[in-house]
Amino acid sequence: MIGVLLVLLLLPFLLYIAAPQIRKMLSSGVCTSTIQLPGKVAVVTGANTGIGKETAKELAQRGARVYLACRDVQKGELVAREIQIMTGNQQVLVRKLDLADTKSIRTFAKGFLAEEKHLHILINNAGVMMCPYSKTADGFEMHMGVNHLGHFLLTHLLLEKLKESTPSRVVNVSSLAHHLGRIHFHNLQGEKFYHAGLAYCHSKLANILFTQELARRLKGCGVTTYSVHPGTVDSELVRHSSLMRWIWWLFSFFIKTPQQGAQTSLYCALTEGLEVLSGNHFSDCRVAWVSAQARNETVARRLWDVSCDLLGIPVD
């Protein structure tokens, strides 16, 4: 009995001591590409915090002209200034983008296309997680609307510019949570039944299906696309869930930093020779296994058509 009590008392201390090694083990995968990006243009959504901020910072460090596409412009300006000071790159720009409003998405795209002649890297990073049931400005369930449909529309609007700038890449930030996701076409907006955690999973599955179908449609045109699982990262993504915030705090020693979480996005955006793996899913800078649902080409094609219909995009 005394031995058990002793172990329980010592366990927090032992975990604290072991935490650096455990974190290192859980955060394997580093983008080792040394490629520089002078003259290249990148857009990163949700770049005013977390993984997006670290991704944008690294792209700027390599000399790219980086657009921080975010809802909170004031916060974005502070981050842009921070990145400019840290990297010495003054070509870090902030533009408003609210993925919960298709008018905002179209306004962002229109402004960008008028401002830039090229787009080499599009990182669809922004997202919401475990929101109470709510809808976007266009009536879409918030997770599906922001995480999938918002980025679907943004990519569609910028696609010709990506094609004109080849070789170019699209990186969609998904999650391991996609394994619990399903695409319920009869309940895509969560009006018949809704669970905040599962709604997030469904949207992350949609990210992977979108990536695969986009890769199929773009094959041979010089634009490649990848989905990534960044890992369990200390970010603002869990802000809507008290439970998740508590769990993140409890296991904070083992959770990736935003810089570590950005590595796989950077790997897919920068690594040379990755074109042959277009459409694949990555985790810790290597190809990762996806669920059976995420490999269903029929569902991927139907989701594409349904997404086009919801967004008013002609179905080809």
Tokens 């919960």 correspond to 100
Element (H, E) at 23: helix 2-26
With beta carbons less than 8 A apart as the criterion, state whether 206 and 227 touch: no
Decide: 30 and 58 in contact? Cβ < 8 Å.
no
Which listed residue (16, 67, 194, 200) is catalytic? 200
Strands (E), 207-253: 223-229
Q: Give pairs for 285-291: CB < 8 Å, separation 24+.
A: 285/29, 285/30, 285/31, 286/29, 288/229, 290/178, 290/179, 290/208, 291/178, 291/179, 291/181, 291/205
76's tokens: 């974005």
Instruction: Tell me the β-bridge partners of 179.
Output: none
The stretches of 37-89 forming alpha helices (DSSP H) are: 50-61, 73-87
Residue type, 48: N
Quick check: is 200 catalytic?
yes
From CA 307, how far away is CA 259, in angstroms rounded? 32
Q: Residues 294, 238, 122, 69: is their CA dihedral positive or negative?
A: positive
**Which amino acid makes up residue 168?**
S
User: Looking at the chain, how many residues does it have?
Assistant: 316
Task: Tell me the H-state helices in 251-296.
Answer: 258-261, 263-270
Place of tokens 């004109």: 164
DSSP 8-state class, residue 314: P
Q: Which positions are annotated as active-site residues?
A: 200
